[in-house]
Structure 1
Amino acid sequence: MIEPLRVINWATGHTGRMVVRAVAERPNYRIVGAFVYNPDKVGRDLGDICGIEPLGVVATNDRQQIMDTPADCVLFLAGAENDVPGSIADICALLASGKNVVTTAANFIYPRSLGAETEAAITKACMDGGTTFHGLGIMPGFFAESLPLLMSKLARRVDCVIASETLAYDKYPSAYQMFDLMGFGFAPDDPTPAFANVELVGETWRHSGMLMADALGLPIDRIENFRDVIVTDRDLNVAAGTIRAGTVGAMNFGVRVISGGEVRIVLQHFTRMADHLAPQWPRGHGWLLEMQGEPEIRARIEIGAHDSVMPTDDACMATAMHAIHAVPYVVAAAPGILTLAAVPPLWGVDAFHVGRAAASAVTQHESGHV
């Protein structure tokens, strides 16, 4: 009998809790540790934190305890953009302690984009621990990299690749993320929200743009960051609060990779707080991939049911499962940094063996119905 892979869950935010619930229902994994940032979660059973039956794993904020816990892989699910140097230090310590690391942090999709010093530090930690580092996600982390690279096999000539994400955030309850971070509800020229700084906006996609360009052999002239906004013509009452008329109600942001003086790669996000806003922009909940050239190739991928209450939750679940399914090939990989351009073929085989009843029960926990 094959021994289950031992995993440690690092951070129990929204996506982190989804990871725990999905790992717990799979016999080929065993959770052996949990790191949390919130002191109110310390000492609690991980299952209790995540809304399922007790797992016999007590959450801790003691980093050394985690380093001393034998494990095959750490699922690093922290919001690393809030403390990039601290997250890099934690990841390097985990790798050097003999644990492979899979992370969903957008900043770590492509360590080379963080500079030679950071890339060298992660590589050294992998060599010291005999381990592998792998960054992934949904977009960034899949639709902006893995799928376009796969589609490029079908092309005679590619002039430009455009990967667009479209999600509505009217049901997303985080006031901090919607207002303070992204800038909904502010005047278009107000410098207060974080995304008013287009350099910060670019940090979401810059890493993926560099990965794509390097994988496709495109020399980079420069990477342009952009953010375009549309104001709402009426007050909007959304889950995060009230957006007043005349303030930002829709936005499009991303990066353009310029090579040979031409735009060759565009990675972008469209979002709106009401359906009537920005009718000229793509709609729906999902992703649109366009490969301009010969032949022209387009793919539209939607996520969630048409009556999904929270499409952003569906995207978080997809992110969680991408990380979980990566664990076996990361554990089996040679020591070093494994990028999305180098992963072996991967299938979600175990997803075909999870009973509908179990999955339904987890969904009810997530929606607060039980």
Structure 2
Amino acid sequence: MTIRVVEWSTGTVGRHAIAGIDARPDLELVGVWVSGPAKIGKDAGELAGLGRELGVSATNDRDALVALRPDCIVHTAMTDDRVFDAIEDLIFFISQGINVVSSGPVVLQFPHGVLPDELVERVEAAGREGNASLHVNGIDPGFANDALPLSITSLSQRIDEVRCLEIADYSTYYQPVVMKSIFGFGQPMDSTPMLLNPGVLSLAWGSVVRQIAAGLDLTLDEPLEEQFDRVAADRDYSTVSVEIPEGTMAALHFQVIGKVGGVPRVVLEHFTRTHPDQAPDWPTPAKGDGCYRIIVSGEPEMEVEFTHHGKHGDHNVSGMIVTAMRLVNAVAAVVDAKPGLVTALDLPLISGRGLVAGS
């Protein structure tokens, strides 16, 4: 059975989602939503850079796309700066009977214990009303710190700690709002960017820690612990998103720590540079400019390093591809899932079925 899909946005993630939808024989692209007026009326293939038309024109008419009655929306619109408005959008879609896979808001990856119970129940109720499911995922938060680490723990005899790291150079990551306003790169060292206000790290990545804990049947101490340290630029740096003058914030290390009885058991940790020369004492990838590293301490000791690299770009480009494809490849499973909020703990094995070249 072919699943009819609408792609919601055509930006850094959405354009790759269109390519992925087109590549899967079980999916049919029937509509595309865009926010910018310059994109309205353009063919989806052009917006995705495919070099050919797909016969689907972009629109900013939400109601017209809903009226198509698609089986699923692949939602990749920017949500970091409009979290609660975006949640309302997703609630509307599933209440209308349309399943959704979305790259954000990332807190919905596993909102239990992060968002108010009444808001989570609104999502669940909307899913029951429309008999539709919502799954929020990607690469981080997402596969690199839910399905991957939990799969690794299946090899354990004893688990002392699960630690999920992202180690990356963000100099080629194009998201100006995220880089400047949310992370604070290029801003004075005495300023407090949105991400470093108390509780925000736990809002953004606490879902990761809590989902792994749920997968391991742990009850965490409350609240989660947040730690961070910043490095000032030793000279002027340029990135594709923001200029970083000497003396302003150039690198950020943070942790969200889940403890049990005061002992760290699940830790999410990021080492984010805006140039590979920065913070030489911090961990570096074994290969390339970015990686995800999973460390499971216990018996046995295990460590896995996961890297990706785009054919036509670096790890920041492929980061957009893997985010898009984790969603696209999950569409069929989410359509078949129970109504309401669906997390990685609820889904079967997701694979790239149908994507092998020449098959």
Q: TM-score, normalising length from structure 2?
A: 0.91
Q: Deviations over 1:34-85 (max 9, x none)?
A: 2222233233322232223222222222222222112111111122232222
Q: Partner of 1:219 in structure 2?
A: 219
Which whole-Å CA distance do the structure 2 matches of 1:32 and 1:17 have between them? 15
Please give the alpha-carbon distance, in whole angstroms, between the structure 2 residues aligned to 1:152 and 1:36: 40
> CA–CA distance in 1 between the matches of 2:313 and 2:58?
30
Match of 2:246, SS? coil
The answer to whether the 8 Å contact 2:259/2:266 transfers is yes
In structure 2, what is the Cα distance between the partners aligned to 1:164 and 1:328? 29
Q: Which residue of 2 aligns with 1:87?
A: 86
What is the match of residue 55 of structure 2?
Answer: 56
Matching residue of 1:111: 111
Pick the aligned partner of 1:38 from 36, 39, 42: 36
Flag structure 1 segments of 5+ consecutive residues without an equivalent: 356-370
Displacement after TM superposition at 1:325 (Å): 0.7
- 1:100: Cα distance to partner? 1.0
Q: Of residues 11, 14, 17 in structure 2, which corresponds to 1:16? A: 14
RMSD: 2.0
- Residue type of the partner of 1:71? P
Match of 2:356 among 346, 352, 357: 352
* Residue 169 of structure 1: how far off its partner (Å): 1.4
- Report SS of the residue matched to 2:265: strand
Is 174-183 or 76-85 further displaced after alignment?
174-183
Structure 1 residue 163: deviation in Å? 0.3
How many pairs does the alignment contain?
351
2:284 equivalent to 1:283: yes
Q: Residue 329 of structure 1: which of 312, 319, 333 is its match? A: 333
Q: Deviation of residue 353 (structure 1)?
A: 3.1
Question: Which amino acid counterpart does residue 326 of structure 2 have in structure 1?
Answer: H
Deviation larger for 309-318 or 200-209: 200-209
1:145-174 deviations in whole A, cap 9, x for unaligned? 111111111112111111001111122344
Alignment deviations for residues 250-302 of structure 1 (CA, whole Å, 9 cap, x no partner): 21123111221111111121121222221221213111100111111111111
The whole-number CA distance in structure 1 between the counterparts of 2:130 and 2:238 is 51
Within 1, Cα distance between the matches of 2:315 and 2:131? 39
Measure the CA separation in 2 of the matches of 1:174 and 1:322. 20
Q: Kindly indicate whether the alpha-carbon contact (under 8 Å) linking 1:111 and 1:118 is maintained by their aligned counterparts in 2.
A: no
Instruction: Determine the structure 1 residue equivalent to 2:256.
Output: 255
Moved more, 160-169 or 275-284: 275-284
One-letter amino acid matched to 2:124? T
Checking the alignment, whether the CA contact within 8 Å between 1:140 and 1:205 is kept in structure 2 is yes
CA–CA separation in structure 1 for the residues paired with 2:83 and 2:172: 29
Structure 2 gaps of 5+ residues are: none
Q: Is the 8 A contact 2:337 2:347 kept in 1?
A: no
Q: Which residue does the alignment assign to 1:133?
A: 134
Written as runs of structure 1 = structure 2, the 5 A alignment for 1:276-315 is: 276-284=277-285, 285-304=290-309, 309-315=313-319
Q: CA deviation at 1:21?
A: 1.6
Instruction: Indicate conservation of the 8 Å contact 1:205/1:254, yes or no.
Output: no
Would the aligned equivalents of 1:201 and 1:227 in 2 still touch at CA under 8 Å? no
Instruction: Give SS of 1:89's match.
Output: helix
Supply the distance in 2 between the matched residues of 1:173 and 1:100 (Cα, whole angstroms): 29
Deviates more, 1:13-22 or 1:25-34: 25-34
| Counterpart residue type for residue 19 of structure 1 | A
Cα distance in 2 for residues equivalent to 1:223 and 1:354: 48
- Per the alignment, residue 28 of structure 1 pairs with 26
Alignment TM-score, normalising by the size of structure 1? 0.88
In structure 1, what residue type is equivalent to 2:27?
A: Y
Q: For structure 1, which segment, 39-48 or 14-23, has the greater mean C-alpha deviation from structure 2 after superposition?
A: 39-48
What pairs with 1:229-244 in structure 2 (closer than 5 Å)? 229-244=230-245
For residues 126 and 96 of structure 2, what CA distance do their matches in structure 1 show?
A: 8
> Using the alignment, how far apart are the partners of 1:175 and 1:94 within structure 2?
28
- Structure with the higher fraction of residues in helix conformation: 1
